[in-house]
Structure 1
């Protein structure tokens, strides 16, 4: 099905590149009528690309489900597999996923650039199906840990590939809305895991059903990706120009193909394969955007939906991030104040609960969904997959450290100092975003690249 288009690499050779760009630019945003008069065709319909986005968000749903599946079932798992009361073993069941996710995120760029975005989704789904099956049939702790490691590897591959895919197949005017869909899918996955896990305490062996259940959406993801569009950006970068045109027509409609191909031609070369090495991302031409991306993910974790769905394409990414992190400063301030001697015991609970609710609201609405989309927009096409891989690796390392050390720090330094530290990181995030982050709302990926990167 994917091989029916002939390779038209010669059309986009460098010798004719300028002529191609000029020809495309004349028709971008308009269509010629028989009398020669140009007509503005406006934005492409979101309905063409939405089904493809919907399939891709299944990987985010699985991400949320796999994070939450042990919440209600861990006690029963520990009883059945013989490690009840061993807190280290219980911690390993939870955290092995994070270790696997770190490994998966490191290889996500090689997979996404090597075999394409939709094949990467299928590998993510396959890893989760294998891991779910191993966990569901585990007879001892080691079987469970091995299954969780496979699942974590799929979890590490999924988020960066989903961010890449959403960025590269979405029309610019709804890219933010589509990006927030991945966060909503994660929340739905987490809620689904909690709901399915409710009978675990009363029903013997129910935890095995909970693990088997995640194989269903993983199988759907693997199957439906066969009918979904491949990223035109990836195809064009691999020199498969004719296929890229066909995918743009599927996603946006015929009148928009030439304009989109012109945009690609300005920043990509169809006869050149990406050869950027990981170490090159840490210095030189691209180090600034990679630093911004890694720092945003680190601050997101150290700072401790539906709002983003409606406002990301209206207010912009930068405004939402500043507002979100500012709200989290207030939330952590309330939490710290509730733990101080300045507040009476009767008011302590109100401040604490209020701070917690405000934190969840402000994080889930903006700081949670925005970075993944924003960073995939900021990175130029030739490094996008590798740069997302580096940033997600930072995300998983910081996530693991926070989860591992939180209770120990709470015991050692107390809630007042700990919440003050988190509030400080939130404030640093506000300053960092204001100084370094470019607003990407409504801009094409090529416009963003030109604005961010100095000429080589």
Structure 2
């Protein structure tokens, strides 16, 4: 059942990826039909992350009052409406508005969907399950590329396809309950117990349900006061906030969304001639993105978050450096070098830097500030997403492709240092234990690298087997 829950919530990720990637296949058609300047192109393309800023801001508080399920239903409606409006536009400014609406849906879903999965999943499988959201993003991007290739003469059809998964998300969330943690936080213990039993596929009176519900209730009682902005920015929770914002900052400054949005442009700059060849090469990049995301999902709960981040940042630094050098020297084999560099970059990103900020954002904040904490992290994500996407065509025209990728390579190198100094290891640690460690005042980066304090126990092996044994953390 937990896989079904993750798959339905993951449709939000598919829509995120589709609405990002669909612009890549439609840009050359839109340029032919409308008078598009570099500024209007940047604004139209960056309308999704700009709208996501507002969506994340609204969702931060609403997710605590209205619940995870209700917000995902709202996002589903916005996705479907935004796709229909995008297919009906008659001017570039109208497409910018429609994509702004889609961006609001993306901002809501990107905050709530990982949270919905994380609060429903057992610790032993939480990393892999939350990574389904990132896998869905890559599938959405690939789907957009394939739709763009199949309907290369009809940009309206490309946009219209986005309404279908929006409808599927609405239907799926309509039949699912809210998360046990939110229900318990609202005093709806019976519903919380029923949700745990349904997700874990056990009887409602099972010890698994009793133990998990008791631990959730104990943490909720300890956090009776509603989390405030001062709590979030205070010295106790600030280390988690730094990690959440820092990982998204580095994720965006690695240049991923510039590559996704403008992949055909990158291939044109690299020497690929026709639009169809550029789109076909872009589809190949999308396939690598999906395949390596699956690899990352298999590794995330085995080798841990920190080690996977270090591997990812090292790989992206090396590959971006290759592209930057090849572009700067105007090498005769630039098309081959750029293709190799892009494939290596996508592979390293998809297995590590792509899914891990979403996973860790849903893990590191205490329950009473989880909504606003994830909201601030998401705001950072979309702010830098907008900056990177909006600036890409302007930077390429001023300093060239090599200079742009050199900036991204430096950002990835900085990610190695940030991971070593700031990022904790949350692999296999219960959400309640992560909160206990954060409130203990010990350095956050020591989580998962040192034995827990006497009396706190930590995560027993039986938890992974049973799915919910919390006795050792009492």
1:243-254 aligned within 5 A: 243-252=191-200, 253-254=202-203
1:241 equivalent in alignment to 2:189: yes
1:247-286 aligned within 5 A: 247-252=195-200, 253-254=202-203, 255=206, 256-269=208-221, 272=224, 275-286=226-237
Q: Is the 8 A contact 2:183 2:191 kept in 1?
A: yes
Q: Please name the residue that 2:463 is paired with.
A: none
Q: 1:69 aligns with which of 22, 25, 34?
A: 22
Q: Distance in 1 between matches of 2:337 and 2:38?
A: 31
1:157 equivalent in alignment to 2:108: yes
Q: Please name the residue that 1:372 is paired with.
A: 358
1:315-330 aligned within 5 A: 315-330=303-318
Q: Deviations over 1:85-104 (max 9, x none)?
A: 43333333212222111110
Alpha-carbon spacing, 1:52–1:424, altered in 2? closer, same or farther (3 Å): same
Alpha-carbon spacing, 1:417–1:136, altered in 2? closer, same or farther (3 Å): closer
Q: Distance in 2 between matches of 1:67 and 1:340?
A: 28
Q: Please name the residue that 1:214 is paired with.
A: 162
For structure 2, the residue ranges without an aligned partner over 5 or more in a row are 256-292, 443-474
Q: Please name the residue that 2:461 is paired with.
A: none
Q: Distance in 2 between matches of 1:248 and 1:380?
A: 20
1:342-421 aligned within 5 A: 345-346=331-332, 348-421=334-407
1:314 equivalent in alignment to 2:302: yes
Q: Distance in 2 between matches of 1:73 and 1:349?
A: 23
Give 1:56 shift: 0.5
Partner secondary structure for residue 13 of structure 2: helix
Alpha-carbon spacing, 1:413–1:94, altered in 2? closer, same or farther (3 Å): closer
1:17-56 aligned within 5 A: 48-56=1-9
Q: Distance in 2 between matches of 1:188 and 1:181?
A: 10
Alpha-carbon spacing, 1:127–1:310, altered in 2? closer, same or farther (3 Å): same
Q: Is the 8 A contact 1:376 1:388 kept in 2?
A: yes
1:433 equivalent in alignment to 2:419: yes
Q: 1:229 aligns with which of 177, 194, 205?
A: 177
Give 1:74 shift: 3.0
Q: Is the 8 A contact 2:328 2:403 kept in 1?
A: no
Q: Please name the residue that 2:246 is paired with.
A: 295
1:166-245 aligned within 5 A: 166-202=117-153, 206-245=154-193
Give 1:340 shift: 5.3
Q: Is the 8 A contact 1:238 1:271 kept in 2?
A: no
Q: Please name the residue that 1:58 is paired with.
A: 11
Q: Is the 8 A contact 2:365 2:373 kept in 1?
A: yes
Q: Distance in 1 between matches of 2:253 and 2:413?
A: 11
Q: Is the 8 A contact 2:11 2:165 kept in 1?
A: yes
Alpha-carbon spacing, 1:347–1:146, altered in 2? closer, same or farther (3 Å): closer
Q: Distance in 2 between matches of 1:371 and 1:311?
A: 15
Give 1:162 shift: 1.0
Q: Deviations over 1:158-195 (max 9, x none)?
A: 11101101110011111111122111111111111122
Give 1:271 shift: 9.4
Partner secondary structure for residue 409 of structure 2: helix
1:123 equivalent in alignment to 2:74: yes
Q: Deviations over 1:369-394 (max 9, x none)?
A: 11101121111111111111111111
Alpha-carbon spacing, 1:447–1:271, altered in 2? closer, same or farther (3 Å): closer
Structure 1-normalised TM-score?
Answer: 0.82
Paired residues, number: 401
Deviates more, 1:93-102 or 1:160-169: 93-102
Alpha-carbon spacing, 1:294–1:176, altered in 2? closer, same or farther (3 Å): same
Partner secondary structure for residue 69 of structure 1: helix
Q: Is the 8 A contact 2:125 2:301 kept in 1?
A: yes
Give 1:209 shift: 2.4
Q: Is the 8 A contact 1:337 1:351 kept in 2?
A: no
Q: Distance in 2 between matches of 1:271 and 1:376?
A: 18
Q: Deviations over 1:185-225 (max 9, x none)?
A: 111111111222224443xxx32222222111111111221
Alpha-carbon spacing, 1:357–1:129, altered in 2? closer, same or farther (3 Å): same
Q: Distance in 2 between matches of 1:431 and 1:315?
A: 19
Q: Distance in 1 between matches of 2:438 and 2:173?
A: 33
Q: Deviations over 1:44-69 (max 9, x none)?
A: xxxx2111111110100111111122
1:79-118 aligned within 5 A: 79-80=32-33, 83-118=34-69
Q: Please name the residue that 1:42 is paired with.
A: none
